[in-house]
Chains A and B, each alone.
Chain A
Amino acid sequence: MATTIVKTEKLSGQRLRRKEDPRLITGTATYVDDIKMPGMHHACVLRSPHAAARIRSIDIEAARNHPGVVAVFTGADVESVGPVPCGSSLPGLRVPHHAILAKDRVYFVGHPVAVVVATDRYIAADGVDLIEVDFEPTEAVSDPEKAIAPGAPAIHPEWPDNIAFTYHQEAGEPEKAFAEAEIVVKQRITSQRLIPTAMETRGVIADYRAAEKNLTLWSSTQIPHLLRTLVAQMLGIAENRFRVITPEVGGGFGSKLNVYAEEALMGFVSMKIGKPVKWIESRRENFLCTIHGRGHVDYYEIAAKRDGTVLGLKLKLIQDLGAYHQLLTPAIPTLSVLMMPGLYKFRNIAADIIGAFTNCVPTDAYRGAGRPEATHGVERMMDMLAAELKMDPAEIRLKNFIGKDEFPYATATGLSYDSGDYAKPLKKALDIVGYHNVREEQRKARAEGRLLGIGMSTYGEICAFGPSPATPAGGWESATVKIEPSGTVTVMTGTSPHGQGEETTFAQIAADELGVTMDDVLVVHGDTAVVQYGIGTFGSRGTAVGGPALYYALQDLKVKIKKFGELLLESDDVTFSGGMCVCNKTGKTAPLAQIAAASYRAMKLPPNTEPGLVATHFWEPPNFAFPFGAHIVVTEIDRDTGHIDVKRYVAVDDCGVIINPLLVDGQVHGGVAQGLGQALYEQAVYDDSGQLITGELMDYAIPKASMMPWIESSHTTTPSPVNPLGVKGVGEAGTIGCSPAVVNSVVDALIHLGVRHLDMPLTPEKIWKIASGGHA
C-alpha cells in the first residue's frame, strides 16, 4: 500500500538526487551487453579496410568450417533486406542504395562486408579473420572540398560530381544589403568532424521465435519506436509482432538517434539461425562505423554599418556527408541555416548548402546537430566584425540583439522565436566574470608580455523537436499515467532517456500534480511492448516535449480522479489537491489510494463511466522552444608550449523553467565538455586515402578530468509560452554555447599578434607556432 500523504511543498524546481542512480552506482543496471540468453550466439562483422574498392570475391569456406562457427553471411545473402533508411527529404536529394552488407563495392573504411555467427564472441572474431576478401582498391577522396572539385574520383559512379544535394535559402534583400554596407567581413570557418564517443558502444541482441513469428530486438538506441517501425520495413515483418527494448543506454549524444545496418542484420541472422544472437560494437568499430558529427566548411560574409548595426549574413556551407545518408544526414546542415541569424536582427540572409559525398563514415546528428556549427559561425563573425570596428564584443551583441519586447519574433529564416531576453544572461555573465576587471587584468598581462584572452558567445538554439510538420517522423510525444488500485503511480513515457534523468524529473512532475511522493511514482520507458508509441530522446526534447505530454495526461487523469472522488464522497462539489479529494461542503476527504481502489472496484458506477484510472496523452507542440544564454571564457596561453589554460568559464543559460537544477547543471557541464572537446582537442582525421587516423581513444582526444575547467554555471529564467511547464530544453545548450566562446577568447589573447581567426581544434602545436612568433 502506498503512503499517500498530503504535501504542500512543490517538488518541481528542487535540487533532488536521481531515482535512476541506485542501480547505476551498484553495478546492477542492465545494458545490452549484460544480457545473456539460453542458446545465445555471438556475431562479429568483417569490415572493409579500404575507403574505396571493388570486391572481386569473398571466400568464406575456412570461416564456415571453423569449429564453433554456425553461419557466415555476405552481401549476396542479405539482398532481401531493405536498405538502411534515410528519413530526410530534400528536393532533388540523391540517395544511394545503402545495403546492410556491401556486395560489389565498398565506400568507406569500416563498411560491413560479412558477418560471422558463432557460439562464442572470441570464435566469431576468429571466423572473421579466416575470411578472404579479394579487394581491388580504387581512388578515394575524404575531403569534402576536394570531393566536389573537378576530377575527383566518383564515390558513387552514378553521380560523378559527388554532390548529393544543393539547397538555397534567402530572405530580405541580401545583395542590396551587401552593396549598401559600410563594412563587409568575410571568413572561411571550419567545424571539424567529431566522433560522438558514447562510453557504451552500440550493441544489439535479436531473438526470433519462428513459431510465434515474433522478433524481439534489444538495442542501445535513443528511438525504440521509430527503430521498430523502420527495421520492420527493412525485414518485411509485422510491426505488431516486433518488440524493441532499450535497456540501460550508456550515452548517445545523437549517435544512437539512428537506424544502423547491424540492427536489421541481427534480426536477419536470428531469423536464419533460429537462435538469439548478440553483436557488441568494439570501440574501433564505434569510431569507424557509428555516425560522426559536424564536418562543415563554411564561407561566411557579414555586412554592417560602421556603428556596428548588422545588415546581412551570407553563408556557403559545404557539408561532408560521408559515403551514405544515415537517418538524418542531409537534414543536419539545414538546421545550421535555420539558426544562422543567431540572436540578432538579421533581415537579409542568403545561404547555400552543398552536400558532398566523401569516402568516410556518414555524418549525422551529434549533440547540437547543425546548431553548434551555426552558432560558431555567427559568433565568430560578430567578433571579427567587432574587431574590425574596434568595438567591444559585448557592445556589438547588445546593439544587435532582438529586443525582449519583440517576441514572438519571426526570423528571416522562417522560425518564430518563442520568448527571450537576450541581454539578461549576457549582462549577468559579464557581471559574474567581472568584465571590467578582467579587461584591466588583460591590459596588465599584455604589458608584461603574457597572452590573456576574454571571449564570449551569446547563443540561441532551436530545441524541443518539434512540431510534426517540421520533422521527418512526427514531432509529438506521448505519456500514459496509470494509478494502480493501491494508489501507486506508473508513468510510461514515449521518450527514451539515457542519462538525462527523466525517471526523476517526470516523477517530480507527476508527484506534484497528484500530490504523492516521488517514491510512489515509477517512470517506465524504452519497451515498445509496454509503452505506447513515442518518438524518443534527442534534440533537447525529452522534458520539453515529453514533459508537457505527461502534464496533459495528468490533467486528463485528474478529471477522472475528481469524478470518482465525487462518487465516493457523494458530492458534486469536490476538489482534488494534495493527494486527496475534499468535499467542499462537508470537509470529508478521500485519499487517492481509496479513490483508485474504488475506480477499479467499480461499484455503483453511473452510466457511461469508464472504470479504472488510466490516461494517455499524445501532445503535439505548436512550436519549437528556443533556449539561449551567454558563455564567457578567460584563457591564458603558455608561449613556450602553446598550452591554453582556461582560467574562467562562466555559463549563464536560460532554458526556461527548471524542474531539477541539479540535473540541469549536469546537462550544462556535459554539454560544455563536448563543446570544449571540439574547441581544443577533438578532430576525426581521415588521411587522403580515406583511412581514419584517429581510430582509437589513444588518438582521439575526448576531454579527461584534468582537461576540464571549473564551470561557473548559473541561469536566467524566461518561461517558454509553447508548453504549460514553461520548459525549453537544455541537453545541447552547453555544447552550442561553448566552442565560439573558447575560440573567441583564444583569438582575443592573440589578436595583437595579428591573429584574426583560428580553426578548431586549437591544439598546442597550432597555438605554439603563433605564440612563439611563427604563423598559423
Chain B
Amino acid sequence: MKKKISVTINGKRHQDEVEPRLLLIHYLREVVGLTGPHIGCETSICGACTVEIDGKAVKSCSMFAVQADGRQILTIEGLAANGNLHPVQEAFWNEHGLQCGFCTPGMIMTSKQLLERNPSPTDAEIRHGIEGNLCRCTGYQHIVNAVRAAAAKAGA
C-alpha cells in the first residue's frame, strides 16, 4: 500500500507515493534522482548516505522515506549556491580531502554539520566528529586538513 509523502529537498517541494518500506536513500536516489548521496553499507555504519534533515546530519539509509514526510532535506547537490562551492567543498578540493570520492558527499555533509556546531574544532574534535563516516582512501589526514582549513576560512 503506497503512501503519499511531501518533502522539501534542496529548496524544492516533492510529492510522491512511496511504499512504506522504501528507504529514504533509495527514495532520494531512485525516485527524486539525486544520486549524490551514496550507499556504502545500508547498515548506518559508513555514512556515505549522509544528508541533512531539518538541519541535522542523518544517515539516510537508516530512515524510511515515509518518515521524511513534511521535512526539509539538504543533499550534497543542494550545497553549492549560485554556482559557488560551499567553503567545505572548496576546502576538500584544495586539501585533496578525497580520492575515489565515494564517501565524499557524506563526509562533506558531516563536516559542514561539525563546523556549525563547533566553528573552531581541534584536530581531535574533527576526528571524533567525522567518526561516523568511513573513508578507505585518504587515511583521513587530508580530510582533517580540509575541515581545519574550512574552519580557518570561516573564522578569518
A, B in one complex:
yes
Task: Give residues in A with beta carbon < 8 Å to B.
Answer: 17-18, 20-31, 33-34, 36, 121-122, 197-201, 248-251, 253, 280, 282-283, 498-501, 662-663, 665-666, 669-674, 696-698, 702-706, 708, 710-711, 734
Say whether B38 contacts A26, CB under 8 Å. Answer: no
The 5 closest A-B pairs by CB, nearest first: A27-B36, A250-B102, A24-B101, A499-B100, A669-B139
Q: Distance (Å) between the CB of A488 and the closest chain B CB?
A: 23
Give the CA-CA distance A660 to B137 in the complex, in Å. 17
Please give, as numbers and ranges, the residues of chain B lying within 8 Å of A26 by CB-CB distance. Answer: 36, 76-77, 79-80, 85, 89
Closest chain A residue to B103, Cβ basis = A199
- Per-position contact with A for B100-127: 1 when CB-CB < 8 Å, else 0? 1111110010000000000000011011
Give the CA-CA distance A525 to B98 in the complex, in Å. 19
B140 beta carbon closer than 8 Å to chain A: yes
Say whether A706 contacts B131, CB under 8 Å. Answer: yes
Please give, as numbers and ranges, the residues of chain A lying within 8 Å of B85 by CB-CB distance. Answer: 25-26
Closest chain A residue to B34, Cβ basis = A27
Q: Distance (Å) between the CB of B125 and the closest chain A CB?
A: 10
17 CB contacts below 8 A, A to B, read A17-B94, A22-B93, A24-B101, A26-B36, A27-B79, A29-B101, A31-B38, A31-B102, A33-B29, A199-B134, A248-B101, A251-B137, A283-B41, A499-B137, A666-B137, A669-B140, A711-B139
Known pairs A17-B94, A30-B35; A499 contacts B101 (CB<8 A): yes
Give the CA-CA distance A560 to B29 in the complex, in Å. 48
Q: Distance (Å) between the CB of B78 and the closest chain A CB?
A: 9
Give the CA-CA distance A680 to B45 in the complex, in Å. 20
Say whether B100 contacts A249, CB under 8 Å. Answer: yes
Give the CA-CA distance A673 to B80 in the complex, in Å. 31
Task: Give residues in B with beta carbon < 8 Å to A.
Answer: 19, 21-22, 26, 29-30, 33-43, 45-46, 48, 75-77, 79-80, 85, 89, 92-94, 96, 98-105, 108, 123-124, 126-128, 130-131, 133-144
Please give, as numbers and ranges, the residues of chain B lying within 8 Å of A711 by CB-CB distance. Answer: 139, 141
Kindly name the residue among A20, A30, A706, A710 whose own CB sees the greatest number of chain B CB atoms within 10 A. Answer: A706
Give the CA-CA distance A708 to B41 in the complex, in Å. 21
Please give, as numbers and ranges, the residues of chain B lying within 8 Å of A283 by CB-CB distance. Answer: 40-43, 46
Q: Distance (Å) between the CB of B88 and the closest chain A CB?
A: 9
Our pick among A24, A30, A670, A710 for the contact of B104 (Cβ within 8 Å) is A24
Q: Distance (Å) between the CB of A700 and the closest chain B CB?
A: 10
Known pairs A25-B98, A706-B131; A34 contacts B35 (CB<8 A): yes
Kindly name the residue among B45, B80, B93, B141 whose own CB sees the greatest number of chain A CB atoms within 10 A. Answer: B141
Task: Determine the main DSSP class of B at the interface with A.
Answer: loop
Say whether A670 contacts B143, CB under 8 Å. Answer: no
Give the CA-CA distance A34 to B104 in the complex, in Å. 15
Give the CA-CA distance A352 to B146 in the complex, in Å. 47
Say whether B135 contacts A199, CB under 8 Å. Answer: yes
Our pick among A121, A665, A670, A697 for the contact of B46 (Cβ within 8 Å) is A697
Known: A672-B139, A705-B126. 20 other contacts (CB 8 A): A21-B93, A26-B77, A26-B89, A27-B34, A27-B35, A28-B36, A30-B35, A31-B38, A36-B33, A121-B26, A199-B100, A251-B102, A253-B136, A662-B96, A666-B96, A669-B141, A673-B139, A704-B140, A710-B123, A734-B139
Kindly name the residue among A31, A250, A499 whose own CB sees the greatest number of chain B CB atoms within 10 A. Answer: A250
Please give, as numbers and ranges, the residues of chain A lying within 8 Å of B108 by CB-CB distance. Answer: 25
Say whether A200 contacts B43, CB under 8 Å. Answer: no
Give the CA-CA distance A28 to B83 in the complex, in Å. 13
Please give, as numbers and ranges, the residues of chain A lying within 8 Å of B141 by CB-CB distance. Answer: 665, 669, 708, 710-711
Say whether B99 contacts A27, CB under 8 Å. Answer: no
Known pairs A27-B76, A702-B136; A200 contacts B38 (CB<8 A): yes
Please give, as numbers and ranges, the residues of chain A lying within 8 Å of B105 by CB-CB distance. Answer: 25, 27
Q: Distance (Å) between the CB of B10 and the closest chain A CB?
A: 10
Give the CA-CA distance A671 to B100 in the complex, in Å. 14
Known pairs A26-B76, A26-B77, A711-B141; A198 contacts B42 (CB<8 A): no
Q: Distance (Å) between the CB of B25 and the closest chain A CB?
A: 11
Give the CA-CA distance A488 to B27 in the complex, in Å. 40
Say whether B96 contacts A198, CB under 8 Å. Answer: no
Closest chain A residue to B41, Cβ basis = A283
Give the CA-CA distance A663 to B133 in the complex, in Å. 22
Kindly name the residue among B85, B128, B136 whose own CB sees the greatest number of chain A CB atoms within 10 A. Answer: B136
Please give, as numbers and ranges, the residues of chain A lying within 8 Å of B77 by CB-CB distance. Answer: 26-28
Closest chain A residue to B40, Cβ basis = A199
Say whether A697 contacts B96, CB under 8 Å. Answer: no
Please give, as numbers and ranges, the residues of chain A lying within 8 Å of B103 by CB-CB distance. Answer: 199
Please give, as numbers and ranges, the residues of chain A lying within 8 Å of B46 by CB-CB distance. Answer: 199, 283, 697
Known pairs A122-B19, A283-B41, A666-B96; A673 contacts B102 (CB<8 A): no
Give the CA-CA distance A673 to B37 in the complex, in Å. 24
Say whether A696 contacts B137, CB under 8 Å. Answer: no
Known pairs A17-B93, A25-B85, A705-B143; A122 contacts B21 (CB<8 A): yes
Our pick among A21, A663, A671 for the contact of B92 (Cβ within 8 Å) is A21
Please give, as numbers and ranges, the residues of chain B lying within 8 Å of A671 by CB-CB distance. Answer: 139
Our pick among A18, A250, A669 for the contact of B138 (Cβ within 8 Å) is A669
Give the CA-CA distance A703 to B126 in the complex, in Å. 15
Please give, as numbers and ranges, the residues of chain A lying within 8 Å of B37 by CB-CB distance. Answer: 27
Our pick among B34, B42, B92, B127 for the contact of A25 (Cβ within 8 Å) is B92
Say whether B142 contacts A666, CB under 8 Å. Answer: yes
Q: Distance (Å) between the CB of A315 and the closest chain B CB?
A: 30
Say whether A197 contacts B92, CB under 8 Å. Answer: no
Please give, as numbers and ranges, the residues of chain A lying within 8 Å of B130 by CB-CB distance. Answer: 705
Say whether A669 contacts B142, CB under 8 Å. Answer: yes
Closest chain B residue to A698, Cβ basis = B45
Q: Distance (Å) between the CB of A644 and the closest chain B CB?
A: 16
Q: Distance (Å) between the CB of B136 and the closest chain A CB?
A: 5
Q: Distance (Å) between the CB of A160 and the closest chain B CB?
A: 39
Please give, as numbers and ranges, the residues of chain A lying within 8 Å of B38 by CB-CB distance. Answer: 31, 33, 199-200, 250
Closest chain A residue to B19, Cβ basis = A122
Please give, as numbers and ranges, the residues of chain A lying within 8 Å of B142 by CB-CB distance. Answer: 665-666, 669
Known pairs A25-B89, A25-B93; A500 contacts B41 (CB<8 A): no
Give the CA-CA distance A36 to B96 in the complex, in Å. 30
Q: Distance (Å) between the CB of B127 and the closest chain A CB?
A: 4
